[in-house]
């Protein structure tokens, strides 16, 4: 294929129209069959956008369905206890997202009579809704002509334009290319293109609907920064008796996951007992080797015996959930 239209930013209006049509047509034919892709309900779109922040699509779909089953509407979410919301979020990570979601649902019900604000500007006043999420909800649910920029869109734009642009320049380039008649589908098309075709390592340019307008066809890679992963070893004690398990609750003031339940941690300096289970767990830049030791709680140890039947309704840390699953307790 030859470069028919050159730089799409400086192309004539008809060439830009063809670019937008081509992208939209491709998206409507090829979008993945994801539960939130055909939805215009602001609550559902908001939930999917929040869940997808920092989490892979494959991990989100199951959580999304379970969450909507329990909280099918904004009102149901607003009237729920925070612990129930966190329990359903347990394992998805970045729990601040769930707290903000819950807080924002309460504000929408209390201050907007349950009606979602319908512009990006107003949406940004809600807790946990930043520039990207506000633009995504406003364009997809309310057809507001406003562009989004996420990591996928950033990569597509940089390759299309052959420049390593960032910040406001990215947002204004996305805005300049926006299909103002179909902003929601256009934004989703740009994100979908980045997620499925214009891949970070090996873009599938032969399948790209806009390759005729692309100045790089993937030849220019944006300089990648490799993040050094750290390694840590941790040990936890698993004590169970008569259908109960011994857990500790994190304090309200700790910075990470306050109020969440977990297994008591055992110092790695204590004499090594044969682990009942060894598993790997990663949190951001740290890879943990986790050893689980079966033993009784020491006399006077902080913690509570919790009935196994209550576990699924408790906000558990992702790691605790993993271990309790492996032990067949949930």
For residue 55, count other CB atoms closer than 10 A to its CB.
15
Closer Cβ to ligand SF4, 126 or 210, answer by number: 210
Binding site for ligand SF4 (CB under 6 A): 156, 159-160, 197-198, 203, 205, 208, 210-211, 214, 216-218
- Beta bridge partners of residue 240, listed in sequence order: 245
Q: Return the number of the residue (48 or 211) whose C-beta is nearest ligand SF4.
A: 211
For residue 187, the number of C-alpha atoms closer than 13 Å in the C-beta half-sphere is 28
Shortest distance, position 54 Cβ to ligand SF4, whole Å: 23
52 vs 161, which CB is nearer to ligand SF4?
Answer: 161
CB of 56 to ligand SF4, least distance (A): 20
Q: Could you tell me the smallest distance in angstroms from the CB atom of residue 132 to ligand SF4?
A: 20
Select 1 or 256, whichever has its Cβ closest to ligand SF4.
1
**Coil, strand or helix: which one is 104?**
helix
Distance CA 149, CA 190 (A): 9
Is residue 49 annotated as a catalytic residue, yes or no?
Answer: yes
Find the angle CA(299)-CA(303)-CA(304) to the nearest 5 degrees.
105
**Start-to-end C-alpha separation, the chain:** 55
- Residue of 4, 14, 49, 82 marked active site: 49
How many helices and strands in the chain, by DSSP H and E?
12, 8
> Do residues 227 and 163 make contact, with C-beta atoms less than 8 angstroms apart?
no
* Distance from C-alpha of 69 to C-alpha of 196, rounded to nearest angstrom: 28
- Measured CA to CA, the distance from residue 121 to residue 240 in angstroms comes to 51
- The distance of closest approach from Cβ of residue 198 to ligand SF4 in the complex, given in angstroms and rounded to an integer, is 3
Nearer to ligand SF4, 137 or 148 (CB): 148
The Cα-based distances of 144 to 19, 121, 179, 329 in angstroms read 20, 11, 11, 47
* Structural contact between residues 308 and 243, judged by C-beta atoms closer than 8 angstroms: yes
- Smallest separation (angstroms) from ligand SF4 to the CB of 182: 19
Cite the active site residues. 49
């Amino acid at each position: 294929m030859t470069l028919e239209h050159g730089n799409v930013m400086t192309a004539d209006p008809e060439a830009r129209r063809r670019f937008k049509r081509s992208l939209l047509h491709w998206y409507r034919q090829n979008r993945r069959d994801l539960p939130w892709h055909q939805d215009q309900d602001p609550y559902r779109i908001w939930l999917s956008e929040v869940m997808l922040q920092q989490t892979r699509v494959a991990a989100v779909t199951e959580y999304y369905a379970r969450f909507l089953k329990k909280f099918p509407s904004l009102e149901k979410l607003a009237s729920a206890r925070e612990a129930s919301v966190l329990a359903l979020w347990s394992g998805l990570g970045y729990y601040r997202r769930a707290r903000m979601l819950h807080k924002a649902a309460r504000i929408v019900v209390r201050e907007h009579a349950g009606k979602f604000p319908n512009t990006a500007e107003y949406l940004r006043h809600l807790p946990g809704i930043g520039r990207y999420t506000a633009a995504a909800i406003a364009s997809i649910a309310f057809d507001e002509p406003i562009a989004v920029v996420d990591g996928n869109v950033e990569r597509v734009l940089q390759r299309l334009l052959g420049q390593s642009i960032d910040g406001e320049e990215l947002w204004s380039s996305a805005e300049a290319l926006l299909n103002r008649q179909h902003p929601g589908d256009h934004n989703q098309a740009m994100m979908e293109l980045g997620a499925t075709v214009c891949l970070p390592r090996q873009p599938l340019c032969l399948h790209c609907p806009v390759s005729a307008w692309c100045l790089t066809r993937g030849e220019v890679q944006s300089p990648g920064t490799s993040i050094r992963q750290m390694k840590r070893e941790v040990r936890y004690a698993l004590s169970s008796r008569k259908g109960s398990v011994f857990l500790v609750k994190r304090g309200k003031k700790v910075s990470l996951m306050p109020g969440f339940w977990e297994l008591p941690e055992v110092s790695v300096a204590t004499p090594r007992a044969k682990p009942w289970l060894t598993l790997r767990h990663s949190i951001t830049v740290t890879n943990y080797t986790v050893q689980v030791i079966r033993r009784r709680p020491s006399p006077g140890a902080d913690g509570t015996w919790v009935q196994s039947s209550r576990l699924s309704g408790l906000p558990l840390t992702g790691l605790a959930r993993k271990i309790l699953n492996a032990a067949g307790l949930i």
